[in-house]
Structure 1
Amino acid sequence: MSTKTNPGRFFEDYSVGQVIRHAVPRTVGQGERALYHALYPARGAIYSSDAFAQACGLAASPLDDLVAFHTVFGKTVPDVSLNAVANLGYAEGRWLAPVWPGDTLSSDSEVIGLKQNSNGKTGVVWVRTTGRNQRGEDVLSYVRWVMVRKRDADAPAPETVVPTLAGAVDAADLVLPAGLDFTGYDFELAGEPHRLSDYQPGEVIHHVDGVTVEEAEHMLATRLWQNTAKVHFDATQREDGKRLIYGGHVISLARALSFNGLANAQMIVGLNAGAHANPCFAGDTVRAWSEVIETAETPAPGVGAIRLRLVATKGDGEGLRDDAGKYLPHVLLDLDYWALMPA
């Protein structure tokens, strides 16, 4: 058997402090924008129109915030989660600079935590991933943790290191795109009249619409981001013979559905926490609701920040957790993020 192929890293291949430089750099452009908007019902005004973005102080329309996330994330999969059982969570995410058509993105990850599970067959790996453009400027940084299989169940457990992570990104630490100015914001063209002061903490917004996930669409999307995780493509990887929908596909679907009620939450700038609560499969219909957690001022003219809890469900089930605190079976995603909105 050839030794030139790469089976991916297993739990015992990681060490705290290890820095992994990910292949392959990716130049992104209008093609990624068009495909993103074809795959998801995305229609945020800043990401759809050069003229609207320029009226908001930007040079042109940047690529959607989640295009940057998926591209950077996809680079990490062969090194971090090719042999993962599950992607467990996110924290301390910040979008640090817009990504423009023509930018080339690359990424690296530092291992910041390890903990072997009690079954001795898997362990949890925490990494901090940073995405950069061709000028070496950081565009995105986040922490995620994954459960990874061991190659050898008898391999000794590493010393347990569980990183201390912030419960949320402080509003003062959010990075705003240079020049962003919402003082002349056109609410009619954006699609809704609601500004930051119209939203109150505790308010829940049901986004009305739904999207039924198709097998071909989710595989096209996952290939678009060069995500090579086996469970998304190879039906033999699961006992039930199903391909698992990439969790980021659910994030983008839910974010796009949230336009109805949050059309002016224009740009994601912070990722506080996130959990893929239950698996999603082709044929599931994704719906979404949001809860307003808090609002904040920013130093940019006319620009406020809104912290939202975005929940994606399959079907019409109600509720979030059972009496024991476990996510109910219909809950797919529980995401806590910051977005920029006209104040």
Structure 2
Amino acid sequence: MSTTSASKTDSGNFFEDFAIGQVIQHATPRTVTEGDRAVYGSIYPTRFAIPSSAAFAASVGLRAHPVEDLIAFHIAFGKTVPDISLNAVANLGYAECRFHQPVLPGETLSTSSEVIGLKQNSNGRSGVVYVRSTAVNQAGETALEWARWVMVHKRDAEAAAPETVIPELASVVDPKELVIPDGLDFTAYDFAAAGEAHRFDDYEVGERIDHVDGVTLTESEHQQATRLWQNTAKVHFNKEARPDGRNLVYGGHIISLARALSFNGLANAQLIAAINAGSHVAPAFAGDTVYAWSEVLEKAETSAPGVGALRLRLVATRGRDESMTLRNEEGKYADGVLLDLDLWTLVPR
């Protein structure tokens, strides 16, 4: 005899399932391992000295050998996907992301999110959800926090639109609010080991740096990376989830590629202190070749010995743009721009 019961599976939240002030505790805490460091290095051409060398990390005063900042970001972000963006059309942007402390192998990250904004799109079939997410370690200490906004499908196009609430988000994290890792000291910085001689005073506001190298996206690598972070968004794996039948590359994969490529010219931008803003300007797919360039936007002193902060615009492009053009004459993003990321990095003075 067969019986029927309420579904035990989860189809994810749709736009009409969100409410202002709603707090979501995301499932599956994730313990960071040395395996994450190794796989990250096998996927991305990263060579920054602090996450690459325990001896180098110790030489600049860090208590232990941290993983790449973006490993923590991807893990924490991935926790939010089943609840926030499983039914997403696209992830649209980031703001007010601060890294509170380096994350170490053995630490366990848990993430929660609060809904801080909602806006239904004019087509009535989707809307934009704004959330503020926080990742804490096993001791309850904040590892990182960020805001993001994502376009999400509606389950029922006829469902009533919520009151529009668009949060006020800072365009830039005040450099005085950057969290400097305990003990960080660049006064005895080993430039030879780091790979470049360029320090804080060698960079000028307005300077643009062509990072030269490119990486061609493959289906297997971008899906492996996205699985590593336990990101379950359908558009990355299921060709039936998009009208064009193509797997969309996770935007974080482009961020990590661009960050790794930026080593050539910014090898001493060792740590990411904050992400001020970010836009995934255009979709990326397997077969695209990604290049990157940076612009120095601002410089700031910090209280840590020998440590300065560079605010950079990191731009990823489909195909190399030697002219490093961000916007066209109409003020729109130039053809080929995939990512426009504004971030603070810590460099030796």
Q: Same fold (TM over 0.5)?
A: yes
Indicate which of 191, 194, 215 corresponds to 2:219.
Answer: 215
C-alpha displacement of 1:98: 1.2
Aligned to 1:306: 310
Structure 1 counterpart of 2:91, one-letter code: N
Give 1:339's match in structure 2, choosing from 302, 321, 345.
345
Please, which of 245, 270, 280 is the counterpart of residue 249 of structure 2? Answer: 245
Match of 1:219, SS state, is helix
Partner AA of 1:169 in structure 2: V
Q: Which residue of 1 aligns with 2:98?
A: 94
Match of 1:157 among 161, 169, 185: 161
| Runs (5+) with no aligned partner, structure 1 | none
The number of residue pairs the alignment matches comes to 343
2:297 to 271, 293, 298: 293
1:71 corresponding residue in structure 2? 75
1:129 aligns with 2:133: yes
- Secondary structure of the 1:166 match is coil
Equivalent position SS for 2:80: helix
Offset of 1:238 from its aligned partner? 1.5
**Residue 68 of structure 1: how far off its partner (Å):** 0.4
Quote the residue 1:59 is aligned against.
63
Q: How far apart, in 1, do the equivalents of 2:53 and 2:259 lie?
A: 18
TM value normalised by structure 2: 0.97
Matches within 5 A, 1:101-180: 101-180=105-184
Q: Percent identity?
A: 66
What is the rounded CA distance, in whole Å, between the counterparts of 2:85 and 2:329 in structure 1? 32
How much does 1:241 deviate? 1.4
What is the deviation of 1:135? Answer: 0.3
CA contact (8 A) 1:51 1:60 kept: no
TM-score relative to the length of structure 1: 0.99
Identify unmatched segments of 5+ residues in structure 2.
none
The CA distance in 2 between the partners of 1:193 and 1:320, in whole Å, is 28
Aligned partners of 1:279 and 1:176: how far apart in 2? 34
AA in 2 matched with 1:332: L
- Cα root mean square deviation, aligned: 0.9
Counterpart in the other structure of 2:331: 325
Which segment drifts farther, 322-331 or 62-71? 322-331
Question: What SS does structure 1 have at the residue aligned with 2:122?
Answer: coil
**Conserved? CA contact 1:278–1:329, under 8 Å:** no
1:163-207 superposed Cα distances (whole Å, 9 cap, x missing partner): 001010000000011000000000000000000000000000000
Is 2:214–2:320's contact at 8 Å kept on the other side of the alignment? no
Match among 257, 272, 276 for residue 272 of structure 1: 276
